[in-house]
Every structure is written in structure tokens, then in C-alpha cells.
Amino acid sequence: MRAVRQTVSKVAGAHIPVLITGPSGAGKEVIARLIHQNSACADGPFVKVNCAAIPGTLLESELFGYERGAFTGANTQKPGRVELASGGTLFLDEIAEIDFGLQAKLLQLLQDNQFWRIGGREDIRVNVRVICATNRQLETEIEQGRFRQDLFYRINVVKIQLPQLRERAEDLPELVRYFLQSFAAKYKSAPSPISQNMMRAMARHSWPGNIRELRNLIERYAILGSEDSLMNELQQNDLAAESRLAARSRDGVVELKSATRQTVQELEKKIIMKTLAANRWNRKLAAKELQISYRTLLYKNRQCGLPSRRSIMKPASLEPSASEFPAD
């Protein structure tokens, strides 16, 4: 995410198209707004168009507007979102949903900064920055004939790829604090800080809804103030995910990424436990032997749900006493 922020700071000042890719709920609109706020057109409008929410027959008029009498019901002239965004930023969310025919008109806008309203006879020139976002692989859409290759190269001047939340679990504590403070102020509540036990459960969760799912979870906590309901919800979601994976396995279909991630995590857990025990639970020595940073070891401990050295309970013949633990 630091690399993403560096890219944003570099492209914000350049008036060029930006393509933001990543799964649903990963924060693509947040990045788009960040680019706009740090650009020369920050004082101009930020106009968002959810291309997936508007039927293809209506999207053209929503984007480009229409002249009076252009079709039945067009009793007045209507400017489109492109025109309203002039002097600012046009954010096209889920651009892969745009009909193939409409993509040609969008291409002209990107090439010439010109367009025409439906029923219009003259081109209208605008000064607008276009930022696009999608959760699909546009290269695949091009191969299957659903997306224009020339439009792809026009919008893909700079590409920003957002990772899934489960791939950046070390960011969870900071994100949780941010959302907790925001919702505490919004609802004028004073929820207790999230416990370490809850944070460990969150680190183990797969977060299919990404940051949007986390945001909703913390909002419920700010309102209800109970960790038990959150813990039960995470456990139910994880059990449902495991059931779906098991069902696919029975049908002979297995999600390779999920199976690989689970196998690797179990292997890491065994290696870390063995290394910690060999180093008398001194985490700094264990991190050195594993050739990873101390911070990475702490993160993996939380991710794997490993107990702290103080909570390790083993037979006396196998476990050193508390007084024998060296200081970390």
C-alpha cells in the first residue's frame, strides 16, 4: 500500500487517465478520490458514474446527455455526467460493464476531449480527467470480444493494482482503529478497543468482502458494543466458506488459491512452533533463525493464531519454567 501511495502522489499532478483494478470492496473509489484531491483540478467536481448500475440503453444519455427532442420524453436539454465533470475528474466505476458500442464514443472523449450529446449536431469540448476502475481482467474481456483493445490502451496509461485485504492483514490494526474512531464520532459512542483475541480472529478471516466488509463489521461493533456478536459472525462466515470449499472438493473442483493458502499457513505454523520451541520461545532468536524480521514473526504469530509464550502450557519435562524464559 505504500507503493500505491507513492504511485498516487506521482500521477496526481499529471493530467493522464488512470486505471484502478482490484476486487470489490478493496477501496478503488478511495484511491480515485485521493488522486483527485491531490491534483490540479482538486477544486473542480468529482463525478462518479457506476457503469454497472445503469442499463446500457440509459448509460449513454447519463454520460453524454441529450438535446431536446432527441427521443420520446426528451422535453428539455440535459447535460451528461461528462459535461458536469468538466474542470474536474470523471470516475467511471466498473468500466468493463459499458456496452461495446458505447466504448467507441468514450474513446473519442479520451482522444480528443470532445463528445456530442444524443441528438446533438456539434461537438462539445471539455477539460476532464478520466479515472476508471474495474474488478475484472480487461485483457480477458478483450480476448472474449467484450472490450475494445484501443480503449484499453487509452485508459491504461497508469495502472494501480489494489490487493485483497487478506493479502495485507498486517494493515488490519490501523484500519480497525481508523474505522472505530470514525464511527465512534458518528454515533457519539465510546466502544472499547478491539481485543487481541478479536484481532487474531480477524487476521485469520479471509475477508471476501475486503475493506467494505471490515468497515461494516466495525460499524456494527460501534453501534452494538459487543465483540461476541462479531466473533460469532466471523466464525459463521468462516464455517460457511469451509463448507463451500468442501462441497467443491467433493465435486472434484477445488479453489487452488484457497487450498494453497491454507496448506502454506499450516506448514508455516508448524515450522514457527518448532523454531520457537528450539529457541526456548525467544522470538527474536527464532526470527533470526527463520531469516525473517521480528515484526514479520509477530504478524505470522497472529495470523496463525499461535499462543504467546506466557500462555504455553506443556508438561514440565518438555517446557522450561517461566523463570527460564530469556527476555525478548
pLDDT digits (tens, 9 = 90+) for 20-39: 999 999 999 999 999 999 99
pLDDT digits (tens, 9 = 90+) for 210-248: 999 999 999 999 888 888 878 887 877 665 555 555 555
Q: How would residue 254 be classed by pLDDT, with cut points 50, 70 and 90?
A: low
- The region, left, alpha or beta by phi > 0 then psi within -120 to 50, assigned to residue 122 is beta
- Cα–Cα distances (Å) from 4 to 11, 106, 132, in that order, read 11, 27, 16
97-106, 237-246, 292-301, 319-328 — most confident range: 97-106
By CB neighbour count within 10 A (0-12 exposed, 13-18 middle, 19+ buried), where does 211 fall?
A: buried
Instruction: Pick the closest to residue 119 from 90, 80, 153 (CA basis).
Output: 80
Domains of the chain: 2-161 (3.40.50.300), 165-250 (1.10.8.60), 256-324 (1.10.10)
Give the range among 19-23, 212-216, 279-283, 300-304 with minimum mean pLDDT: 300-304
Give the integer Cα–Cα distance in Å for 208 and 276. Answer: 32
Q: How does the average pLDDT of the chain come out, rounded?
A: 84
Instruction: Pick the closest to residue 130 from 155, 159, 147 (CA basis).
Output: 155
Average pLDDT (298-314) is 62
Give the integer Cα–Cα distance in Å for 261 and 245. Answer: 13
Could you tell me the pTM of the whole model?
0.70
pLDDT digits (tens, 9 = 90+) for 52-99: 999 877 899 999 988 887 777 778 888 999 999 999 999 999 999 999
Is the CB of residue 78 less than 8 Å from the CB of residue 118? no
Strand partners, 158: 18
Q: How would residue 283 be classed by pLDDT, with cut points 50, 70 and 90?
A: confident
Q: State residue 151's pLDDT score.
A: 96
